[in-house]
Amino acid sequence: MGKFQIVILDRAFQEIENARDYYENNQINLGTSFTKEVFSILEILESNPLLFPVKFNTVREALLNKFPFVVVFEILPNNEIIILSVFHFSRNPEDKL
């Protein structure tokens, strides 16, 4: 299996930025730690997205370790991975997609 190309939807990118800003405003460097963890997950997805389970139809989820977030994504046939959402556990699960 080759490398996959990551495409982050605007919505997901905004969710990452909002969470980073929130954490950074609460504790210096915590926002940076959040961003590093998200991008660490994205690096894993680039090489092996099948590590993460299908949750709904073709949508998969990758849990962050230190933060209460899940990266919601789909694998397309052209080896693209679409990041649909970076979702906080406290939000309504129906808003994931």
The tens place of each residue's pLDDT in the chain, 97 residues long, gives 568 999 999 999 999 999 999 999 999 999 999 999 999 999 999 999 999 999 989 999 999 999 999 999 999 999 999 999 999 876 555 655 5
Q: Which domains does the chain have, with CATH numbers?
A: 5-90 (3.30.2310.20)
What CA–CA distance (Å, rounded) separates 26 from 24? 5
Q: What is the pTM of this model?
A: 0.88
**What is each CA distance from 83 to 8, 24, 44, 60, 90, in whole angstroms?**
5, 23, 13, 10, 19
Q: Can you read off the two tokens belonging to residue 38?
A: 């998200």
